[in-house]
A and B are shown apart, each in its own frame.
Chain A
Amino acid sequence: MYVAVKGGEAAIANAHQLLADRRRGDRSLPAISIDQIVAQLGLAVDRVMAEASLYDRELAALAVRQARGDMIEAIFILRAYRTTLPRFGMSVPVDTAAMKIERRVSATYKDLPGGQLLGPTFDYTHRLLDPSLLTDEPVAEPLRRPVDEGSMMRVSDILSGEGLIEGDGQMPQDHVPGDLTREPLEFPLNRDLRLQALARGDEGFLLALAYSTQRGYARTHPFVGEVRIGTVEVEMDIPELGFAVSLGRIQVTECQMVNQFQGSTKTPPQFTRGYGLVFGQSERKAMAMSLVDRALRAKEFGEDIVAPAQDEEFVISHSDNVQATGFVEHLKLPHYVDFQAELDLVRRMRAEYETRAEAEKTGTMREAAE
C-alpha cells in the first residue's frame, strides 16, 4: 500500500547535491570527459547501449558518467531517455554477411575462407595486472598487413552447403516482427520476440543461464561456429524518395552457435543452431544469447523442458535488468503503512497464540488435578 508522505523534500534535494559532489569526486583531479569514456571505457559504453537497447555511444557514455559507473543505473537512465523520443521507423534488416570485420573466429573450422582474425581481444592475455597502465606510457601503433580480399562467408553457410545444418530462422509467412517496446509480452513467444528480449537482456543473467546449459541443465552440445565483430550499414526507407538510404554504420557482435543434431523419420539428422546479435563489441553476451536462444527452442525440437534455461516465461520475464532492479529496489522505498499493518497482524496472532497456550496450560493443570 502506498500513501502520500510529505517532509522529504529538503533531504532529497540535499542528497542529490551530495550525489553530484561525490560523482565529481576530488576536485584536484581533472573531470572525465564523455569523449574519454567513449574512447577508453568503450566496452562499458557498449554494454549500456546493448542493454538499454539504444545505440548511441555519446548518450551511453553520458549515462555511465551520470551513474558514476553503475551499469544498471546507466542502462536505466538511457532507457528512460529513449521514451522521450519519437520513432521515425524501422531499418532495413542489417546484413551481417557484409560486415566490415574487426574480429572473426571460428571454433569449428581452422581454415575457413577469410581466416581466423583475432582482432582486439582479451583472449590469450595472461590476465596479469599491467603496472604500465598506472602511468600514461606511450602505446605502440598496431601492426598492419595487406588485406586478403575476398568475402568472409558465414560459417553457417559453409555447413548449409552440405545440408548438414538447419537453415536461418524462418517465421510464418507475412509475419510482422514482434516489438516488445510496443506490445506487452504474451507467452508463448515467437523466436523473433525472444531474440529482441535476449538482445537487451542482462549480460550476467544470460551468462549464468548459458553456463547452466553447459553444466547439464538442458545440454545442447554447443560449438562456436563463428563469432564476428564489426560494423554494418543501417539503411532506412525514405517514403518521400521511394528508396532506402544509409544512415551510417553501427558496430555489432554476432555469434552463430552450432549445436548437436536433430532429426526425425521425416528430416535427416542435422546440426541445430542458436543465434546471438548484440549492439557494440560484446562477445560474452552474444555467445550467452546464442546458447540461451538454442535452449529456448526446446519445444520446437520436441525436447523435454527440464531446466530453467528452457523455460521461456522464466527466462524472458527475468532477463530485463531495468525491470528487475525496479522491483527489487522499490523495496527500500517507504512501506511504513504496509509494515504497520503487518505489525498489527503479527501482534494479534501473538496475543491469540499466547491466550491459547495459557488456556492449554490451565487445561492440563486442571486435568492433572482431577
Chain B
Amino acid sequence: MDAIREKRDASADQRKRTMGLLARATAAELQAGWQAVEPKPEVHPVRGPETGLIMVRGRVGGGGDAFNLGEATVSRAAVRLASGEVGHGQLLGNDREKARLAAIFDALQQRPEHRQTVLRMVEAIEGRIEVEDRLQAEQTAATRVDFFTMVRGDN
C-alpha cells in the first residue's frame, strides 16, 4: 500500500512540477513543443479555454493569517485525449491558446509514448527560467552594499 501511495505521490509531484513549468512557458515554447509531438493526438475540449480571475492572497504581516490582496487574470482549459486522459492547463494572463496547449501537454505527459517529449520540453523551459533567474540575481547582487567602517584617527 505504502509503495503504491509513494508512487502516486511521486507522479503527482512530477505532474505538479510539470504543470507549474507549463504555466511559465512562452507561447513560442509551447508552439515549438506542439510541433515536436508525433503522432499528433486527437484532442477534445472539455472546458474552455477561458479567462477569469483569481483572488491573490497575502498574509497579514507576511506570515500571519490570509487577506485578499487583489485579483489576477488567469486563463485555463481542460482537454481530453481520444485515449481518455484529461489534461488541465492554467496560467496567469490572458493567453487562452497557451492555456489550451498547456492542458494538452498535461494530458500527453500521462501517455507513456509522449511522456519523454513533454519532459524534454519542460526541462528546456526550466533551464531557460534558471538562466533568467540567475542573471537577475547576479545583477541584483552587484547592487549589494559592502559597508566599511571609517577608522577615526586619534591625532
Nearest A residue to B50 by beta-carbon distance?
A: A86
A55 close to B70 (CB less than 8 A) = yes
Q: Within the assembled complex, what's the spacing in Å between the Cα atoms of A250 and B133?
A: 14
Nearest A residue to B135 by beta-carbon distance?
A: A144
Task: Select A88's contact among B23, B54, B60, B141, beta carbons within 8 Å.
Answer: B54
Minimum CB–CB distance from A77 to chain B (whole Å) comes to 14
Minimum CB–CB distance from B151 to chain A (whole Å) comes to 17
A245 close to B65 (CB less than 8 A) = no
Whether A56 touches B94, Cβ cut-off 8 Å, given contacts A94-B58, A144-B142, A169-B60, is yes
Minimum CB–CB distance from A323 to chain B (whole Å) comes to 16
Q: Give 17 pairs: A residue, B residue, CB < 8 Å, sorted on A.
A: A53-B70, A54-B73, A56-B93, A82-B53, A85-B73, A94-B59, A147-B134, A154-B62, A168-B61, A168-B63, A234-B54, A236-B74, A241-B88, A245-B20, A248-B92, A254-B62, A277-B62
Interface residue? A364 (CB, 8 A): no
Q: Within the assembled complex, what's the spacing in Å between the Cα atoms of A120 and B139?
A: 10
In the complex, per-residue mask of A285-323: 1 if CB is within 8 Å of any chain B CB, else 0: 000000000000000000000000000000000000000
Binding site for B on A (CB under 8 A): 49-50, 53-56, 58-59, 82, 85-94, 96-97, 100-103, 110-111, 115-121, 142-148, 154, 156-157, 167-171, 175, 177-181, 191-193, 195-196, 199-200, 233-234, 236, 238, 240-250, 252, 254, 256, 273, 275, 277, 279
Whether A170 touches B139, Cβ cut-off 8 Å, given contacts A96-B58, A238-B88, is no
A102 close to B140 (CB less than 8 A) = yes
Minimum CB–CB distance from B11 to chain A (whole Å) comes to 11
Chain B residues positioned under 8 Å from A59 (CB to CB)? 73, 94
Whether A143 touches B142, Cβ cut-off 8 Å, given contacts A90-B57, A94-B57, A273-B61, is yes
A168 close to B72 (CB less than 8 A) = no
B72 close to A101 (CB less than 8 A) = no
B140 close to A277 (CB less than 8 A) = no
Size of interface on B: residues with Cβ below 8 Å to A: 55
Nearest A residue to B86 by beta-carbon distance?
A: A240
Of residues 102 to 140 in B, which have CB atoms within 8 Å of A's CB atoms? Answer: 133-140
Nearest B residue to A121 by beta-carbon distance?
A: B143
Chain B residues positioned under 8 Å from A55 (CB to CB)? 56, 70-73, 92
A144 close to B71 (CB less than 8 A) = no
Chain B residues positioned under 8 Å from A246 (CB to CB)? 16, 19-20, 23-24
Nearest B residue to A103 by beta-carbon distance?
A: B140
Top 6 nearest A-B pairs (CB, nearest first) are: A169-B60, A168-B61, A168-B64, A246-B20, A192-B67, A55-B72
Interface residue? B145 (CB, 8 A): yes
Chain A residues positioned under 8 Å from B140 (CB to CB)? 101-103, 117, 119
A147 close to B62 (CB less than 8 A) = no
Q: Within the assembled complex, what's the spacing in Å between the Cα atoms of A169 and B19?
A: 32
Interface residue? B36 (CB, 8 A): no
Whether A100 touches B67, Cβ cut-off 8 Å, given contacts A169-B60, A245-B90, A275-B60, is no
Binding site for A on B (CB under 8 A): 12, 15-16, 19-20, 23-24, 50-74, 76, 78, 86, 88, 90-94, 133-145, 147
Chain A residues positioned under 8 Å from B55 (CB to CB)? 87, 89-91, 179
B69 close to A199 (CB less than 8 A) = yes
Chain B residues positioned under 8 Å from A157 (CB to CB)? 63
Chain B residues positioned under 8 Å from A154 (CB to CB)? 62-63
Residue from A85, A143, A240 having most chain B Cβ neighbours under 10 A: A85
Whether A87 touches B141, Cβ cut-off 8 Å, given contacts A59-B94, A177-B57, is no
Minimum CB–CB distance from A256 to chain B (whole Å) comes to 7
Q: Within the assembled complex, what's the spacing in Å between the Cα atoms of A119 and B143?
A: 6
Task: Select B70's contact among A54, A85, A249, beta carbons within 8 Å.
Answer: A54
Residue from B71, B90, B94 having most chain A Cβ neighbours under 10 A: B71
Minimum CB–CB distance from A317 to chain B (whole Å) comes to 18
Chain B residues positioned under 8 Å from A199 (CB to CB)? 58, 69-70
Nearest B residue to A195 by beta-carbon distance?
A: B67
Whether A250 touches B57, Cβ cut-off 8 Å, given contacts A82-B71, A85-B52, is no
A117 close to B144 (CB less than 8 A) = yes
| 10 further A-B pairs in the complex, CB-CB below 8 A; given A90-B68, A171-B65, A241-B12 | A144-B139, A168-B64, A177-B68, A196-B69, A238-B90, A241-B15, A245-B23, A248-B24, A249-B92, A279-B70
